[in-house]
Amino acid sequence: MKKLSLLGLGIGFLAGFTVMAEPVMAQSTLEQIKQRGHLRCQIGTPAPGFYSLDANGQWQGSDVSMCRAVATAIFGDPSKVEFQSVTSAVRFTALANGESDMLSRTATWTAFRDTQLGLKFAGINFYDGQGFLVPKSLGLKSALELKGATVCVLTGTTTELNMTDYSRTNNLDLKPVVFEDSNVRDETYRNGGCDAVTNDKSGLASTRSKFANANDHVILPETISKEPLGPVTRNGDDQWFQIVRWSLFAMIAAEEYGVTSANVDQMLAKPPSPEVARFLGVEGELNKGLGLEKNWAYNIIKKVGNYGEVYEKYMGEGPGAIGIPRAGSQNALWTKGGLMYAPPFR
């Protein structure tokens, strides 16, 4: 009898579970987020400039601001985000299985990822590329002079692969010294364990700023890979994809229009141009297709800031930022010779 009842219990459990797992009516991502009351935005483990924790336990950085911008577009409140800090090993799984609504972390937009992982890259908010950091005392002017050098590199990343490719293409015979941890890599480099460090240039900038004498080290001009970074959403919900994409465009466009968090209220009261009026929701109904409030873009600029403001705060050369100059780089606005470009708001 005892065995029988146990068996019955097991069957009961199974049956209950199957009923529970019955598929429910699919809700759009936006509805889910509104119902939940906050956005679930995936970021990575701390990386200076992009996403890092401060001593009060708050997330900050340029990719974090992207999450906050989307939350602001939906709720008008940049604090309605749950940040999910996930290692890169499971980043796309955590997006695909519905744990995260979007991903705003240093994920490079590649053909494979865009077409074969069920993901959509919503845009580019940072143009990165791999480079080399060397001591100034070596007197190098170009990465092509690195012949036979030992290079510190993180293992298991595309960084290592890019470096070997570059070495083979240019017959440089670079010898990689691999590390698991960026702190150990940088310490080894500082103590002369290798001649150069290779990483994305944003990472090199923060490595450089770690050292007691940052000016003793230079980043070589060559960029050996293209690393366009931007927010990502899941396939299958175009409206949600467009919300993320246009939140990014709104930040870039605002900078182009000269709308900042400081002057956005004046702009709202007295729009300098019809495009700004449409942008801020004074005229037209650009919000309709997105399913957002009329003042969604206003909220983003007011509470998070435009692209330039965010860049200066976290990536630029001010205090608390990691010190990557923007002028003349690909991350400058298209009007200033860069690649940051937003389609028109009309």
Partner 1 sequence: MANLDAADTTFRPKPNLPPPPNTVGAVGWMRKNLFSSVLNTLLTLGAMWLILSVAYTLFDWGVLKAVWVAENRRECLDRSPDGACWAGVIHWFNTFMYGRYPYAEQWRPNLGLVILILWMLPCWLPRVTGKIGIALSAVIIFPFLAGYLFAGGEKGLILQILVSAGIVTFITIWLHVLSCLLTGRSLPVHILGITGFTDKDDRLHKYPLIGAFGLALIVVLILQSGWEPPEVGTNLWGGLFLTLVISGVGITTALPSGVLLALGRRSRMPIIRVSCIAFIELFRSVPLITILFMAVTMMPLFLPETVTLNRLVQVIIAVCLFAAAYMAEIVRGGLQAIPKGQYEAAQSMGLNYWKMMALVVMPQALKLMIPNIVGNFIGLFKDTTLVSIIGLYDLLLMLKAVSQNPQWNGLYLEPFMFGTFVFFIFCFAMSTYSQHLERTLGSGQVRR
Conformational region of residue 284, where left means phi above 0, alpha means psi within -120 to 50, and beta covers everything else = left
Single out the residue of 106, 167, 198, 206 in contact with partner 1 (rule: CB under 8 A). 206
Among 1, 19, 20, 269, binds partner 1 (CB under 8 A): 20
- Which residues within the stretch 142-171 sit at the binding site for partner 1 (CB under 8 A)? none
Q: Which stretch binds partner 1 (CB under 8 A): 50-58, 102-110, 259-267, 300-308?
A: 50-58
Nearer to partner 1, 119 or 333 (CB): 119
Q: Report the C-alpha gap between 280 and 121 in whole angstroms.
A: 25
DSSP-assigned states of every residue in 235-298: TT-HHHHHHHHHHHHHHHHHHHHT--TTTHHHHHHS-SSHHHHHHTTSSS-TTGGGT--TTHHH
Distances (CA, A) of 189 to 149, 229, 261, 332: 12, 27, 41, 31
For the record, the structure tokens of 218 come out as 């230079």
Here's the x/- map for partner 1, 86-115, by CB under 8 A: it reads as xx--x--xx--xxx----------------
Of these, 31, 54, 77, 283, which contacts partner 1 (CB under 8 A)?
A: 54
- Contact map string, positions 224 to 263, toward partner 1, x by CB under 8 A: ----------------------------------------
Whether the CB-CB separation of 53 and 59 falls below 8 Å is answered with: yes
Q: How far, in Å, are 10, 26, 218 from residue 18 at the CA level?
A: 12, 18, 61
Nearer to partner 1 (CB atom), residue 150 or residue 209: 209
Of 209, 242, 260, 287, the one binding partner 1 by CB under 8 A: 209
Q: Is 47 in the site for partner 1 (CB under 8 A)?
A: yes
Contact between 159 and 199 under an 8 Å Cβ cutoff? The reply is: yes
Least distance from partner 1 to the Cβ atom of residue 272, Å: 35
Q: Which of 1, 18, 19, 23 binds partner 1 (CB under 8 A)?
A: 23
320 touches partner 1 by CB under 8 A: yes
Q: Does 321 bind partner 1 (CB under 8 A)?
A: yes
Give me the least distance between CB of 169 and partner 1, in Å please. 32
Amino acid at 58: Q
Work out whether 309 is an interface residue with partner 1 (CB under 8 A). Answer: no
Instruction: Report if residue 311 touches partner 1, rule: CB under 8 A.
Output: no
Nearest alpha-carbon partner for 60 in 76, 36, 81, 31? 81
Contact 41, 83 (CB under 8 A): yes
- Could you tell me which of 149, 3, 126 has the C-alpha nearest to residue 62? 126
Radius of gyration of the chain from Cα atoms?
A: 23
Q: What does the binding site for partner 1 look like in residue numbers (CB under 8 A)?
A: 2-3, 6-7, 20-24, 26-27, 32, 36, 45-49, 52-58, 82-87, 90, 93-94, 97-99, 183, 186, 206-207, 209-212, 314, 320-322
